[in-house]
Amino acid sequence: MGNLLFMFFICLAVAIVSIVLTVKVFIPTSPIKIGDELHIYIGSKYNRTATVNEINESEDIIVIYDNFPLPYTYQGRFYAIGYMSDGNKLIFIKNKKLLIPALFAELIRF
């Protein structure tokens, strides 16, 4: 019984690792850079499209419209998340089609 249980956990671990590696291959990789056009969502609702003028990593700020700073707290492989002072969540993505994967990745991240 002990060997069977051990084999079960080994197979389970191998299955989990293979699923994670397979999913990681299909996640897009396009980090946000200066000059990129971002789609900005506030609380999962579309707000606007803007061009990134500056990314200040020391202060965690993305600047749009040459002088409008927006905070970000996490930058993933294809999206960034920020929280405004009033508690609203900002989602920055380059492709509108990636909103659902970004929300799903945000659930997994915590």
State pTM to two decimals.
0.72
Please return the burial class of 53, using the count of CB atoms within 10 Å of its CB with bins 0-12, 13-18 and 19+.
Answer: middle
Mean pLDDT of the chain: 87
For the cut 70, the answer to whether the pLDDT of residue 33 exceeds it is yes
Give residue 74's pLDDT: 87
- pLDDT classification of 25: cutoffs 50, 70, 90: low
The pLDDT of residue 99: 87
Structure-token pair, residue 41: 């969502």
User: How far is the C-alpha of 7 from the C-alpha of 101, rounded, in Å?
Assistant: 34
* 26-42 mean pLDDT: 85
